[in-house]
Each structure stands twice: as structure tokens, then as C-alpha cells.
Amino acid sequence: MNDKFEDIAVKELETMVALARTSGASNGPILDHLQGLYEGLGWQARRLPLNDGGEPRANLVIKNSDSPGVMFDVHTDTVPPGSIERWTETDHEPRKLTRKGDRLYGLGSSDTLASGAVLNTLAMQGRLPEGTAIVYTADEEVGAIGATHLLADGG
């Protein structure tokens, strides 16, 4: 990867870490970001609400063709941050992406928001092939609830 790709991906990861929330909390802010990004690129995006009586959460299905042949799945939730005092690398702010040397620190940055940031960057650069779908699911960290709903919705 060249530096430009890395810079864009890190900036995207910074946004995603700031917007992601723990399981059970609304994932609306991160979905707003993702939907706007992909629709701006000409992709189709559709939200599928969970409708389970909890906070408003949804899955987001994004595709660049009517009949995708490959699908990526990224979840939008994180585990709870735990003790804020232990977040020393981020100045005790778990949702602040921090780079130290060749490492990135931030809640959800290695599971799985970095994967999403890479996919988003590839899409922004037009480097994902026609026939690609990306599904951003809710509540993976507490039993793959979003994926279960996606399958029940015929996803």
C-alpha cells in the first residue's frame, strides 16, 4: 500500500472509531456516515432496521451492482471500553484513534473497524470490482444479532 492509501484508510478508521458504539446502542451515526459515503460513490445502500424493541439499530447493505458475486461483512459495534484508566495510549479516550509508531490504538480499531476502513478506502479509490457487496451489521459482539436479523430478512 502506498502512503496515500494508508493516510486515507487511517483517516477513515479515525472517523469510524469515533462513531462506533457498543453493542445494544444505536449504530445510526456510523451508518449515516457509511451510507453517505457509498451513495456519494454511486453505490446502492439499504438499511434493514432490527425492530427488536431496543435502541434503534440496523444493518446496512451496500452494493455496486444488482447481482453481487462477493460480499464482505463488517460489524459496527464494539465491546465496552472497560476501565478508562487503562486506555493510556489514547489519553484515556477509547474512541480517539491514536497512532504511536506503526500501531493504531482505539476502541474497535482491530475488530473489525480497520477492515471496514480498508474496504471504504478501496471503494473511494474505485478499486473494488463490480459485483461487490458490503454488509455492515449491528450487535455482532453479543451473539451476531444483526447477522441473525439479516438472514431472517432474506439478506
Enumerate the active-site residues. 77, 140
Tell me whether residue 67 is exposed, middle or buried, using C-beta atoms within 10 angstroms of its C-beta: 0 to 12, 13 to 18, 19 or more.
exposed
| Side chain identity, residue 132 | T
With cell 452494493, the residue in question is: 63
H or E, element range at 46: strand 44-49
Residues 59, 46 contacting (CB under 8 angstroms): no
The three-point CA angle 26-66-51 to 5° equals 25
User: What does the alpha-carbon distance between residue 13 and residue 17 come to, in Å, rounded to a whole number?
Assistant: 6
Can you read off the three cell numbers belonging to residue 16?
Answer: 469510524
